[in-house]
């Protein structure tokens, strides 16, 4: 092992020996060591060193437990390989699944390369890489897209939730019961099942309705194919369309994956548990063409079942392609009781060691609360945070989905269709409660989508990644305008008065739109439509229809499980729903987390939420009349101290 550390030192520090005295060492990365307070080489454990020095041209699966420092290790590995890379026109691609993950890896790389990862290498999201090197250069061959007026054949991505009028031109010839005439962006062809799947928002039963109608009437396949081809020929596509067609492209034109495999003979895929079946099929083809792949992740953190992402697909892929398995089993984030219960809920077989010393007397707490009294559980959690000298700023409330989150921050949940007036009212409400929203981006997304719908409903626009920007407005102007509108809405005192009727509130909003928003340079030529008041609401009070009464004054931001991935927090309060609900596999109810007889996504959701905590993990457990001694034993067997929240 010492020889491997010396090898890292020679490659990255340009020295034969790693000195323990940082003020004697004059190695290339001495500044990074001083940041860490010790040599970065000696800061790594044996598993980390083993991966950094592992064979690059070997399919490798780095299974990394939560808190194992995988991002840091991946950055060191990339720097280590970049320093030894000899090819000028071939490179490796480092692929992530979110912009924030890409940013974090780039930040770490700056510490070890003192520069960005540049040509011939690539750093970015899987989607961006797929679009840049496969979709935009080649998919026009299948889409029969001839390009825009300048001959540009780049694909324009549309989201399934888009409601803009320009998409009316891409509707099916025939109706599909309550789904009506389906638009091309409301369905896609699933590569795994080779069947059409509904992804629109007109009905929660849309998927079942569409499948039933296709089974009943064979001719609908042709109707949908015709609708989709018209969409494609105009240069539009869903994310799902891009991945589906890329696989067809690889099958029809085998020289294309050969070329991609030569351009990128090595692929690093971070958070590999988020790979879908169709993405794995693309990687399998590249493997067959000679590409070597490094998967980095934790299959126990696969929590995107609603996207048909199954960890067994990734496991099967790694087995079929003879991946060398490397393990990171030391958790530097959490204390051992939190590590233990995280492994417990997924029947973990690896012996994960918690390297963080505990600060809380009782690291595992189950807080029982009465229905609708989540604020009491939150108050009890707050007491434990303060008692154990933990950071309030570094603590969070985690919930399964947005329904509970909205209730906690004072928004009523609605199954009704979207309404521009109500969206603006919610935005104004949340602008004054930003410390309770999960993050700034969520609120900015809501604002961008609303302004696009109000002023540019008939215009072609970009997707959420670009904040729904209309094509006719430059990016910097669109963002600047949204910030101005945000400030206008936040500072309008009359608009913040929700004790009036919807009719009165709409008049105030109309006046504000005319005098303060429609006069902005980007909007001065636009006509706007803020929409109609929902039927039956004209004389109702705004706050009574949109907001909950008596919501608690929260000291903690609220995250969904999907939003908290990657976080390290002093303390976590994970709130259970009151019951399992209609979907027995929703993962929001606490008993689902501890059902170890059949490990599924509900267990993995708990694993992700549990493993965010460093020192204190509290569960908010609703206590119905049926709460029994057996229920109590389930929690106690998992190591939780049970306390009651009282008013």
27-to-5, 8, 31, 83 alpha-carbon distances in Å: 14, 12, 9, 15
In angstroms, the CA 171 to CA 184 distance is 6
Task: List, in order, residues 6 or more apart from 316 with CB less than 8 Å away.
Answer: none
Instruction: Determine how β-strand 569-575 pairs with β-strand 613-622.
Output: parallel
In a shared domain, residues 194 and 104: no
Could you read off the pLDDT of 21-79 as tens digits, one per residue? 888 888 899 889 988 889 999 999 999 999 999 999 999 999 999 999 999 999 999 99
438 pLDDT higher than 70: no
Could you read off the pLDDT of 373-418 as tens digits, one per residue? 888 999 999 999 999 999 999 999 999 988 888 888 877 776 666 7
In a shared domain, residues 258 and 126: yes
Last residue of a domain, one of 293, 328, 363: 328
168 pLDDT higher than 50: yes
Number of domains in the chain: 5
| Residue 340 belongs to some domain of the structure | no
Nearest to 78 by CA among 269, 252, 234: 269
Do the Cβ atoms of 608 and 396 come closer than 8 Å?
no
**H runs (alpha helix) in 530-586:** 542-546
In the sheet that holds 292-297, the strands lie side by side as 122-125, 92-96, 266-270, 292-297, 60-64, 324-328
Taking residues 458-487, report their average pLDDT.
Answer: 87
Cis peptide before 52 (omega within 30 of 0): no
Q: How many CA atoms lie within 13 A of 398 on its CB side?
A: 31
- The pLDDT value given to residue 371: 83
Report the predicted TM-score, pTM, of the whole model to 2 decimal places.
0.89
| Residue 634 belongs to some domain of the structure | yes
301 pLDDT higher than 80: yes
Any idea what the Cα angle at residue 315 is, between residues 302 and 292, rounded to 5°? Answer: 110
In a shared domain, residues 455 and 538: yes
In angstroms, the CA 121 to CA 56 distance is 14
In a shared domain, residues 510 and 435: yes
In angstroms, the CA 167 to CA 165 distance is 5
| Residue 240 belongs to some domain of the structure | no
- The pLDDT value given to residue 237: 96
Kindly indicate the confidence band of residue 521, based on its pLDDT and cuts at 50, 70 and 90.
confident
Could you read off the pLDDT of 534-547 as tens digits, one per residue? 888 899 998 888 88
Q: How many residues belong to the chain?
A: 647
Task: List, in order, residues 6 or more apart from 319 with CB less than 8 Å away.
Answer: none
In a shared domain, residues 127 and 260: yes
73-to-40, 49, 62, 114 alpha-carbon distances in Å: 10, 8, 10, 16
In a shared domain, residues 294 and 359: no
Using DSSP's 3-state secondary structure scheme, residue 235 falls into coil
Nearest to 228 by CA among 206, 261, 208, 198: 198
In a shared domain, residues 415 and 539: yes
Kindly indicate the confidence band of residue 554, based on its pLDDT and cuts at 50, 70 and 90.
low
DSSP state of 417: P
116 pLDDT higher than 70: yes
Could you read off the pLDDT of 586-625 as tens digits, one per residue? 788 999 999 999 899 999 999 999 999 999 999 999 988 8
DSSP state of 462: -
Nearest to 540 by CA among 496, 498, 495: 498
Last residue of a domain, one of 200, 234, 268: 234
Last residue of a domain, one of 546, 575, 595: 546
| Residue 138 belongs to some domain of the structure | no
In a shared domain, residues 483 and 372: no
In angstroms, the CA 8 to CA 84 distance is 11
DSSP string, 326-367: EEE-EESSS-HHHHHHHHHHTT--S--EE-SPP-SSSSEEEE
In a shared domain, residues 305 and 182: no
CATH of the domain at 369: 3.40.50.300
In a shared domain, residues 354 and 213: no
Q: What dihedral angle (degrees, nearest 10) is formed by the CA atoms of 220, 226, 227, 231?
A: 160
- The pLDDT value given to residue 437: 43
| Residue 136 belongs to some domain of the structure | no
Taking residues 471-500, report their average pLDDT.
Answer: 90
295-to-134, 304, 325, 327, 445 alpha-carbon distances in Å: 21, 18, 10, 12, 31
- The pLDDT value given to residue 546: 84
Could you read off the pLDDT of 306-344 as tens digits, one per residue? 888 999 999 999 999 999 999 999 999 999 999 999 999
Long-range CB pairs of 193-201 (<8 Å, 24+ gap) are 196/221, 196/224, 197/240, 199/160, 199/238, 199/240, 200/160, 201/160, 201/161
DSSP state of 180: -
Q: Where are the beta strands (DSSP E) in 238-331?
A: 266-270, 292-297, 324-328, 330-331
- What percent of the chain is modeled with pLDDT above 70? 96
Q: SS3 string of 52-78?
A: HCCCCCCCEEEEECCCCCHHHHHHHHH
Q: Which residue has the higher pLDDT, 546 or 261?
A: 261
521-to-87, 516, 518, 632 alpha-carbon distances in Å: 50, 11, 8, 62
235 pLDDT higher than 60: yes
Taking residues 224-245, report their average pLDDT.
Answer: 96
Any idea what the Cα angle at residue 18 is, between residues 17 and 24, rounded to 5°? Answer: 105
Domain hosting residue 37, numbered range: 1-42
In a shared domain, residues 315 and 449: no
| Residue 393 belongs to some domain of the structure | yes
Do the Cβ atoms of 100 and 271 come closer than 8 Å?
no
In a shared domain, residues 194 and 258: no
| Residue 486 belongs to some domain of the structure | yes
Q: Which residue has the higher pLDDT, 231 or 470?
A: 231
Query: For the chain, give me the number of helices (H) and strands (E)?
Result: 25, 20
Do the Cβ atoms of 411 and 426 come closer than 8 Å?
yes
Task: List, in order, residues 6 or more apart from 581 with CB less than 8 Å away.
Answer: 588, 589
| Residue 343 belongs to some domain of the structure | no
Do the Cβ atoms of 398 and 404 come closer than 8 Å?
no
């Amino acid at each position: 092992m010492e020889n491997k550390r010396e090898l890292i030192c020679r490659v990255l520090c340009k020295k034969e020996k790693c000195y323990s005295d940082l003020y004697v060492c004059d190695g290339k990365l001495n500044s990074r060591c001083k940041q860490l307070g010790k040599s970065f080489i000696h800061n790594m454990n044996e598993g980390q060193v083993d991966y950094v020095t592992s064979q690059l041209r070997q399919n490798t699966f780095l299974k990394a437990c939560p808190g194992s420092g995988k991002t840091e290790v991946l950055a060191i590995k990339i720097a280590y390989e970049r320093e030894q890379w000899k090819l000028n026109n071939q490179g490796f691609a480092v692929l992530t699944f979110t912009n924030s993950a890409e940013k974090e890896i780039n930040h770490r790389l700056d510490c070890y390369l003192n520069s960005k990862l540049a040509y011939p290498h690539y750093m970015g999201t899987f989607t961006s890489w797929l679009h840049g090197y496969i979709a935009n250069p080649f998919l026009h061959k299948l889409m029969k897209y001839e390009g825009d007026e300048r001959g540009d054949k780049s694909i324009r991505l549309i989201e399934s939730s888009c409601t803009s009028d320009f998409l009316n031109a891409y509707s099916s010839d025939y109706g599909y019961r309550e789904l009506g005439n389906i638009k091309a962006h409301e369905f896609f062809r699933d590569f795994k099942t080779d069947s059409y799947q509904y992804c629109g928002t007109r009905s929660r039963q849309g998927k079942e309705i569409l499948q039933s109608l296709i089974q009943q009437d064979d001719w609908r396949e042709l109707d949908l194919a015709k609708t989709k081809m018209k969409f494609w020929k105009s240069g539009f596509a869903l994310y799902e369309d891009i991945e589906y067609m890329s696989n067809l492209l690889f099958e029809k034109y085998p020289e294309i994956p050969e070329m991609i495999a030569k351009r990128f003979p090595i692929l690093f895929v971070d958070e590999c548990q988020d790979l879908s079946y169709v993405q794995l099929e693309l990687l399998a083809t590249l493997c067959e063409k000679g590409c070597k792949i490094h998967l980095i992740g934790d299959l126990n953190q696969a929590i995107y079942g609603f996207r048909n992402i199954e960890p067994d697909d990734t496991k099967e892929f790694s087995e079929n392609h003879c991946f060398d398995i490397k393990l990171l089993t030391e958790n530097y984030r959490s204390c051992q009781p939190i590590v233990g219960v995280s492994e417990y809920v997924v029947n973990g077989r690896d012996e994960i060691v918690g390297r963080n010393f505990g600060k809380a007397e009782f690291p595992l707490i189950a807080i029982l609360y009465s229905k609708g009294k989540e604020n009491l559980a939150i108050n009890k959690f707050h007491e434990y945070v303060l008692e154990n000298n933990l950071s309030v700023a570094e603590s969070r409330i985690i919930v399964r989905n947005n329904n509970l989150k909205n209730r906690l921050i004072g928004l009523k949940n609605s199954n009704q269709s979207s309404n521009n007036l109500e969206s603006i009212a919610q935005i104004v409400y949340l602008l004054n409660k930003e410390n309770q929203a999960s993050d700034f981006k969520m609120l900015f997304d809501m604002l961008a989508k609303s302004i696009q719908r109000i002023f540019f409903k008939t215009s072609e626009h970009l997707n959420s990644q670009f904040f729904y920007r209309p094509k006719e407005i430059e990016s910097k102007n669109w963002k600047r305008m949204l910030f101005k509108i945000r400030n206008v809405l936040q500072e309008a005192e009359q608009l913040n008065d929700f004790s009036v009727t919807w009719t009165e509130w709409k008049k105030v909003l109309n006046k504000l739109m005319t005098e303060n928003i429609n006069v902005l340079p980007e909007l001065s030529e636009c006509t706007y439509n803020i929409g109609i008041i929902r039927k039956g609401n004209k004389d109702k009070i705004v706050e009574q229809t949109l907001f909950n009464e008596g919501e608690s004054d929260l000291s903690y931001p609220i995250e969904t499980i999907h939003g908290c991935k990657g976080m390290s927090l002093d303390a976590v309060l994970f709130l259970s729903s009151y019951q399992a609900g209609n979907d027995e596999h929703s993962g929001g109810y606490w008993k689902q987390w501890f059902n170890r007889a059949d490990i599924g996504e509900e267990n993995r959701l708990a694993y992700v939420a549990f493993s965010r905590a460093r020192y204190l993990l509290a569960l908010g457990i609703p206590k119905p009349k049926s709460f029994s001694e057996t229920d109590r034993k389930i929690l106690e067997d998992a190591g939780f101290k049970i306390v009651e929240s009282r008013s």
